[in-house]
Structure 1
Amino acid sequence: MEIQEGANQLFVGDESNPDAQIVFEKVDENTLEVTHTEVSESMQGKGAGGKLVDAMVNYARKQDKKLVASCSYADHKLAKNDDYQDVYKG
């Protein structure tokens, strides 16, 4: 599963019609907000959502940003993983 960077998203497949995606917005100079995570039926059960959250954390680290999430799935994943606490603002 290759996760690619697009315009305000990380995705699998075609950027205009992704098989899986995590969408984010810039809140301020230091913060990105995860607004949406979506996984197509064909990719469900393969850990794609979790891999997207992991990729989002790595993206935030590279950009020296913190993360917040209005997406309930991403917020749950970020909050419960101790390895993400360096970037998760809650």
Structure 2
Amino acid sequence: MSEVKFDLSNGRRGAFYIEENHKKAGEMVVGLSETALTVYHTEVVPEMEGKGLAKQMLDAMVDYARTHDLQVVPLCEYVHVQFKRHPDEYKDVWKK
């Protein structure tokens, strides 16, 4: 399993991402405010789909939100669907 990395070098915008063979295999684009983490988009390159990379990034993002006491605004369809499917798992961070 690859390690999820977090890059916030662009001020309040950044991404959780996974690299395979020094190439980006997946990315979850986010924005930060004082109280919220907004997820805009999640994408995995086609040849890496079905390997659980999106879920790894989701888990890392939720861990980050919990650690930093942030609420998650799931504008990304993937994250929103996962929050709706598993509301009990994410109720502490889901900003509806």
What's the TM-score once normalised by structure 1's chain length?
A: 0.87
Instruction: Name stretches of at least 5 consecutive residues in structure 1 with no aligned partner.
Output: none
Aligned equivalents of 1:64, 1:20: Cα separation in 2: 25
Counterparts in 2 of 1:6-85, with a 5 A limit?
6-7=7-8, 8-13=14-19, 18-26=24-32, 28-81=33-86, 82-85=88-91
Confirm or deny: 8 A CA contact 1:9 1:23 kept in the other structure: yes
**CA drift at 1:89:** 1.1
Asked which structure has the greater CA Rg, the reply is 2
Paired residue type of 1:75: H
Paired residue type of 1:11: Y
Q: Which residue of 1 aligns with 2:11?
A: none
**CA drift at 1:53:** 1.0
**CA drift at 1:75:** 0.8
Aligned equivalents of 2:83, 2:16: Cα separation in 1: 16
**CA drift at 1:19:** 0.8
**CA drift at 1:79:** 2.4
Q: Which residue of 2 aligns with 1:2?
A: 3
- How many residues of Structure 1 are paired with residues of Structure 2 in the alignment? 87
4+ residue stretches of structure 1 with deviation over 2 A?
none
Q: For 1:79, what is the secondary structure of its paired residue?
A: helix
CA RMSD, Structure 1 to Structure 2 (Å): 1.5
